[in-house]
Amino acid sequence: MRVLVTGGAGFIGSHIVTALRDRGHDPVVLDALLPAAHPGTPPLPDAEFVRADVRDAGAVRAALRGVDAVCHQAAMVGLGKDFVDAPDYVGCNDLGTAVLLAEMAAAGVGALVLAGSMVVYGEGRYTCGRHGTVRPGPRRTEDLTAGRFEPLCPDCGAELVPGLVGEDAPTDPRNVYATTKLAQEHLAASWARCVEGRAVSLRYHNVYGPGMPRDTPYAGVASFFRSALARGEAPRVYEDGAQRRDFVHVADVAAANAVALEAVAAGQAGALVAYNTGSGEPHTVGEMAAELASAHGGPAPVVTGEFRLGDVRHITADSARLREELGWRPVVGFAEGMTEFARAGQRESAAAIG
């Protein structure tokens, strides 16, 4: 199968290209190598390469010739620094997706796997002893400043128990990046209905692993911590470190993409099917920092009490649907993956050079 991988020179995309080649497929990489993600030319995947922006309709049209399916990874990622980033996020993520889907419709390419994100849920699933499953609103600045990090029951103010989010949970994006990721899913669903196509959105959890970018305002928390350790500094853990996340290894995410691509190409998906894509083993951010620091040889993490508006407290999701319907299984355990990541190389970032 010939697969166009947008953003295929990036962290996750390059691992997907490798996974596809290992399974006997023919990947084609389309990547703009934008300076915000690539300050210099990165090691390019072992595949046909097209340097172009996914918003360039002519370049996308040419890259789609002979393609059977598309794996759409190209995006601006992370929470960002301020709302002034909003036009860049919308342009890269939503306009880029719209251009890609329009060209796929014109070319008759009817199979898509989208890099989705668990951020579309907002806060995770919570249970109140009196009111059952509840959905707390955004946390207030005054509470965060006072060190009150846990969301409370919106009905009675009681403490809540966090749980796993299923794909049928309501979406509630809490920042610009999250909003663009949900818009990508809506665009993909509309495309699939219009052209009778097949699409899967893999809602990634906190992806980490070899080749992750170095310290940058748009990187994930695992990158922040690994970059600090590389500088000989202690990882700085926000809030109290008890935020729950699901850290999933990039090799497992790449394998999920390969499996999903084979499913959509074979007609085993509908207009749009969303799959949570995580390890299934929630850990706190503090636990991750401690594991990473220990494997690296220190220094130990420092819990700062600082916070970022737009962050959610707990978000871990149930990935059983992906396992049951597509047969995917993560194989890299938490301790094993963090030990590897602590010693692995990282990509250069624009922030590191600037």
Q: For residue 46, is pLDDT > 90?
A: no
223 within domain boundaries = yes
Q: Note the pTM of the prediction, 2 decimals.
A: 0.93
CA distance 188 to 264: 13
pLDDT at residue 40, as a whole number: 64
pLDDT at residue 42, as a whole number: 72
What's the CATH code of the domain at 78?
3.40.50.720
Instruction: Judge residue 232's burial from the number of C-beta atoms within 10 Å of its C-beta, 0-12 exposed, 13-18 middle, 19 or more buried.
Output: exposed
Q: How much of the chain, in percent, has pLDDT values that exceed 90?
A: 80
At residue 130 the predicted structure's pLDDT band, cuts being 50, 70 and 90, is very high
156 within domain boundaries = no
Three-state DSSP class for residue 94: helix
Q: Residue 42 is part of which domain span?
A: 2-124+165-343
Q: For residue 351, is pLDDT > 60?
A: no
Q: Taking Cα atoms as reference points, which of 15, 36, 38, 35 lies closest to residue 115?
A: 15
Instruction: State how far the alpha carbon of 172 is from the alpha carbons of 118, 125, 150, in Å.
Output: 10, 12, 18
Q: For residue 353, is pLDDT > 90?
A: no
User: What value does the mean pLDDT of the chain take?
Assistant: 92
58 within domain boundaries = yes
The active-site residue out of 177, 208, 238, 275 is 177
234 within domain boundaries = yes
Of the two residues 11 and 268, the one the predictor is more confident about is: 11
Mean pLDDT of 284-303: 96
Q: For residue 324, is pLDDT > 60?
A: yes
309 within domain boundaries = yes
Which range among 19-23, 40-44, 296-300 shows the weakest confidence by mean pLDDT? 40-44
* pLDDT tens by residue, 151-187: 999 999 999 999 999 999 999 998 899 999 999 999 9
pLDDT at residue 352, as a whole number: 38
8 A C-beta contact, residue 239 and residue 151: no
8 A C-beta contact, residue 99 and residue 163: no
151 within domain boundaries = no
211 within domain boundaries = yes
- Is position 177 annotated as part of the catalytic site? yes
215 within domain boundaries = yes
Query: How many domains does one find in the chain?
Result: 1
B/e letters for 319-340, b = 16+ CB within 10 Å, e = fewer, are bebbbebbebebebebeebbbb
Mean pLDDT of 179-202: 96
Q: How much of the chain, in percent, has pLDDT values that exceed 70?
A: 93
Tokens of 37: 């993600």
